[in-house]
Structure 1
Amino acid sequence: MSVEKYFKMKKSDCKEALEIYKRFLTRVTKIGEFMKLAETVGVDKNDIPDINYAPSSILESLETHMNSLEGKKG
C-alpha cells in the first residue's frame, strides 16, 4: 500500500492501518537492536541483512490525518 492511499481510506481503516504501522515501527526497532547485538557476539556483518523501511517521520502525518478524521486539533 502506498502512503497516499492511507489519506483516502475510511476512518475505521485509517485507524487500523495507523495501529499496524505503529506496531511495525516497534518491531523494526527491536529487529535493529537484535542485529546490533548479533554483531557484538560475532555474527559477521555481511551475514546481517540490511533492513529498509518507511521512516518513522511518516507517523506524524498519519496521526495528524487520523486526528482530523476524529475532529481533534493538532
Structure 2
Amino acid sequence: WAWADEAAGRVRARVFALAAGVAEDEACGSASLVLASRLDRALTIVHGQGSVVRARPAGPGYAEVGGFVAHDGVRAL
C-alpha cells in the first residue's frame, strides 16, 4: 500500500492471493479493515482496477467497511 493523499486518508493498495488461485483481490475488505485498524484512522482505499473501499475503526475491537467494487468475473476457489 501507499498513500495517495495522507491528509485526506486516501490509500492505493493491491492484494495478491496466488496461493488461493486469485491473481489479485480487486476489493479486499479484510485487508482494508486491518490497515484502518493499524493506522487507527478512517481510510478510503482504491484497490485493483478501481474498486473503492472505505474502512474505519469503530471502537475497541471493532471496525467497519463499505464501498464500491468493480466486478471482473467469478472465480471458483
Q: TM-score if structure 2 supplies the norm length?
A: 0.29
More strand as a share of residues: 2
More helix as a share of residues: 1
Q: TM-score if structure 1 supplies the norm length?
A: 0.30
Q: Comparing both chains, which one has the higher relative contact order based on Cα–Cα distances under 8 Å and sequence gaps of 6 or more?
A: 1
